[in-house]
Amino acid sequence: MSGRLSVVGLGPGDARYLTAEAVEALDAAHALYGYGPYLERVPERASQRRYASDNREERVRAAAALAHAAQGALVAVVSGGDPGVFAMAAAICEEIESGPESWRMLDVSIVPGITAMLAVAARIGAPLGHDFCALSLSDNLKPWHLIERRLDAAASAGFVIALYNPVSRARPWQFAAAIERLRRHLPPSTPVVFGRAVGRPDEQMDVVMLNAADATPADMATLVIVGSRETRVVDRPGRTPLVYTSRAVVEVSA
């Protein structure tokens, strides 16, 4: 029997964000692999085995899941959001590239999910309504000077910037440093959206200006969207404001 591996995006939290394809892949699996809190989101089935691992063990988890699938099992690896955005799909591809030849013969499917920046954007309006990019502030896998270079390039080129992994216990200062960097390129009134635990019961949305962004709390469950010169805030009495990025470009001198 030939094994199968699916890498399944669970979306940002609430089960309503699961796609029908993701539900099918989870139903079909003999074994589930993933970071513990993500596995807990998937309803238990008596016929399924679960292998929970720590968030930092992505390569080890990927190799274990591939080895299991190579034995003929139907294996699903779960990721929060989309598995291809700062998540397990790339770890699986890396292991296939460097692993035994037999892993290249496996039937591998990547099942997309709603990534955090899309869920946050939808809650507040349309901040990603025009050109944008996504950047992880984690310097676990890349040096900090490269992150700074990318922040400079993105902000000076006029992209809205979605910041994943803004803060963690091991990275307490990076977020404030990133905001300070962005202030070199963007006006102090640039809107910044903080979406925390979107799609979960403790969800929180905040909109501040860039000059106050480093004083606004962010944690590992927060996705930050830094606007561009085209991003506007529409205040609405008694309702949360709408934040959107206009499709009409403000000319910036080169």
Q: In what order do the strands lie in the sheet with 107-111?
A: 49-53, 31-35, 74-79, 4-9, 107-111
132 binds ligand SAH (CB under 6 A): no
17 binds ligand SAH (CB under 6 A): no
191 binds ligand SAH (CB under 6 A): no
State the minimum distance, in angstroms, from the CB of residue 66 to ligand SAH. Answer: 19
Burial bucket for residue 199 (CB in 10 Å: 0-12, 13-18, 19+):
buried
With a CB cutoff of 8 Å and minimum separation 6, the contacts of 71 are 3
Question: Which two tokens mark 124?
Answer: 């507040």
Q: What's the CA angle centered on 79, arms 76 and 84, to 5 degrees?
A: 100
Nearer to ligand SAH, 50 or 123 (CB): 123
Q: Which of 42, 85, 128, 210 binds ligand SAH (CB under 6 A)?
A: 85
Q: Which of 87, 135, 186, 192 binds ligand SAH (CB under 6 A)?
A: 87
φ and ψ of 7, to 5 deg: -110, 110
220 binds ligand SAH (CB under 6 A): yes
Nearer to ligand SAH, 34 or 81 (CB): 81
The count of residues interacting with ligand SAH (CB under 6 A) is 25
115 binds ligand SAH (CB under 6 A): yes
Q: Which amino acid is at 79?
A: S
194 binds ligand SAH (CB under 6 A): no
Question: Which two tokens mark 16?
Answer: 């309503």
User: Hey, which residues between 138 and 177 contact ligand SAH (CB under 6 A)?
Assistant: 164-166
Q: State the Cα torsion 136-137-140-144 to the nearest 10°.
A: 120
Nearer to ligand SAH, 125 or 199 (CB): 199
Q: CB of 98 within 8 A of CB of 83?
A: no
In 204-236, which positions are buried (b, 16+ CB within 10 angstroms) versus exposed (e)?
eebbeebeebbebebeebbbbbbbbbbbebeee
Nearer to ligand SAH, 74 or 162 (CB): 162
208 binds ligand SAH (CB under 6 A): no
Q: Which stretch binds ligand SAH (CB under 6 A): 39-47, 102-110, 196-204, 238-246?
A: 196-204
Chain contacts with ligand SAH (rule: CB under 6 A): 12-13, 79-82, 85-87, 115-116, 120, 164-166, 195-200, 220-223
